[in-house]
A and B are shown apart, each in its own frame.
Chain A
Amino acid sequence: MSNSSALPSWDVLTKHNVFPVANHDEVARLNFLTHLNVHLSSQILPGVKTAYETQVKPEIVAETGEEPSSRHQVRQHMLNNGYFQMWSALRRNTMEMRHQAARAQVLGQIENIVDKVDKACHNDANLQLDDNVVVPPNVAMVDIHCQPGCYYQEYFENDVTVAASYDLGLFVTTAGLLGALSDGGGQGIANWLKTQHPDFKPKRILDIGCTVGHNALPLAEHFPDAQVIAVDVARPSLRYAHARAKSLGLNNIQFVQANAEDLSQYADGSFDLITTSMFLHELSHQAMPKILKNINRLLADGGLNLHLEQPQYAGMDVYQQFIRDWDTYFNNEPYWGPMHELDLKQVFADCGFDPQDMFDVGVVSKVDEKIFGKPKSEGEDYGRSPVWNALGLWKGKNAKISEKVA
Chain B
Amino acid sequence: MSELNTQLSDAEKINLAGTKAKGQRPYFLADKQTEQALSVAMTLAMELSVTKERLASLECLLVDKGLIAKGELDHYQPSKEEVAKRSVDTQAYLARVLRIMQQDKEELEANDPDMQSVQDELTKSEY
Interface set of A (CB-CB < 8 Å, partner B): 24-25, 28-29, 31-33, 36, 79, 84-86, 88-90, 92-94, 96-97, 99-100, 103-104, 107-108, 110-112, 114-115, 118, 141-143, 146-150, 155-156, 159, 161, 329-330, 332
CA distance A332 to B24 in the complex (A): 9
Contact B4 A111 (CB under 8 A): yes
Cβ–Cβ < 8 Å partners of B43 in chain A: 97
Most central of A85, A93, A118, A329 by chain B CB within 10 Å = A93
> Is B108 among interface residues, defined by CB-CB distance under 8 A?
no
Q: Tell me the complex Cα distance, A93–B25, Å.
A: 10
Interface centre among A28, A97, A330 (most CB of B within 10 A): A28
B17 within 8 A of A: yes
Q: Which residue of chain A lies nearest to B25 when distances are taken between CB atoms in the complex?
A: A92
Within the complex, what minimum Cβ distance (angstroms) separates B111 from chain A? 35
Q: A104-B18, A110-B13 are in contact. List 11 more A-B contacts (CB 8 A).
A: A29-B50, A31-B53, A86-B29, A90-B42, A92-B25, A93-B39, A96-B39, A115-B3, A115-B4, A142-B22, A146-B23
CB distance from A37 to the nearest CB of B (A): 12
Does A159 contact B28, Cβ atoms closer than 8 Å?
A: no
B38 interfacial by beta-carbon distance below 8 Å: yes
**From residue A158, how far is it (CB to closest CB) to chain B in Å?**
9
The one of A25, A88, A94 that contacts B28, using a Cβ cutoff of 8 Å: A88
B16 touches A25 (CB 8 A): no
Q: Are A103 and B29 in contact (CB under 8 A)?
A: no
Whether the Cβ atoms of B46 and A107 lie closer than 8 Å is no
A-B residue pairs in contact (CB < 8 Å), sample of 15: A36-B46, A85-B28, A89-B27, A96-B39, A107-B8, A114-B6, A118-B4, A141-B23, A142-B23, A143-B22, A147-B21, A148-B19, A150-B22, A156-B8, A330-B28
- Does any Cβ of A come within 8 Å of B70's Cβ? no
Residues of A near B38 (CB, < 8 A) are: 89-90, 93
Residues of B within 8 A of A159 (CB): 6
Q: Contact residue range for chain B?
A: 35 or more
B122 near A: Cβ within 8 Å? Answer: no
Q: Mark B41-68, 1 if CB is under 8 A from A, else 0.
A: 0110010011001100100000000000
Measured between alpha carbons, how far is A100 from B43 in the docked complex, in Å?
11
CB neighbours (8 Å) of A142 from chain B are 21-23
A146 to B4: give the CA distance in the assembly, Å.
29
Q: Which residues of chain A are within 8 angstroms of B57 by Cβ–Cβ distance?
A: 24
Residue B2 interfacial (CB < 8 Å): yes
The verdict on B89 contacting chain A, using a C-beta distance below 8 Å, is no
Chain B: CB-nearest residue to A105: B17
In this assembly, does B35 line the interface, its C-beta being within 8 Å of a C-beta of chain A? Answer: yes
B21 touches A89 (CB 8 A): no
- What chain B residues lie within 8 Å of A103 (beta carbons)? 16-19
Complex CA–CA separation, A33 to B26 (angstroms)? 21
Within the assembled complex, what's the spacing in Å between the Cα atoms of A257 and B30?
Answer: 45
Given known pairs A28-B54, A110-B6, the reply for A89 and B19 (CB within 8 Å) is: no
Could you say which of B6, B30, B50 contacts A111, with CB atoms under 8 Å apart?
A: B6
A155 contacts B22, C-beta separation under 8 Å: no
B21 and A25 form a contact (CB under 8 A) = no
In the complex, what's the smallest C-beta–C-beta distance from A185 to chain B, in angstroms?
24
**What B residues does A146 contact at CB under 8 A?**
21, 23
Q: Is the CB of B16 within 8 A of A79?
A: no
User: What are the residues of chain B within 8 A of A149 when measuring CB–CB?
Assistant: 19
Q: Are A156 and B28 in contact (CB under 8 A)?
A: no
Is there contact, CB below 8 Å, between A100 and B18? yes
Using Cβ atoms and an 8 Å threshold, which residues of chain B touch A86?
Answer: 28-29
Contacts of A36 in B (CB 8 A): 42, 46
Of residues 75 through 112 on chain B, the ones whose CB sits less than 8 Å from some CB of chain A are: none
Find A100's partner among B17, B35, B54 (CB 8 Å cutoff): B17
Q: A115-B4, A148-B20 are in contact. Are A89 and B29 (CB under 8 A)?
A: yes
- Nearest first, the 7 closest Cβ-Cβ pairs linking A and B are A142-B23, A143-B21, A111-B2, A104-B17, A85-B28, A28-B53, A146-B21
Q: Are B35 and A89 in contact (CB under 8 A)?
A: yes
B8 to A329, Cβ gap below 8 A?
no
- Write out the residue numbers on chain A whose beta carbons fall within 8 Å of the beta carbon of B23: 141-143, 146, 332
- A24-B54 contact given A85-B28, A110-B6, A155-B8, CB 8 Å threshold: yes
How far is A88 from B23 in the complex, measured between Cα atoms in Å? Answer: 17
Question: Least Cβ distance of B62 to chain A in Å?
Answer: 15
A93 to B20, CA, bound (A): 12
A33 and B2 alpha carbons, distance in the complex (Å): 30
Cα distance, A90 to B39, chains bound together (Å): 8
Q: Are A32 and B29 in contact (CB under 8 A)?
A: no
User: Assuming A79-B28, A86-B29, A110-B6, is B21 touching A29 (CB within 8 A)?
Assistant: no
Q: Give the chain A neighbours of B26 by CB distance below 8 A.
A: 88, 92, 329-330
Contact A155 B50, beta carbon cutoff 8 Å: no
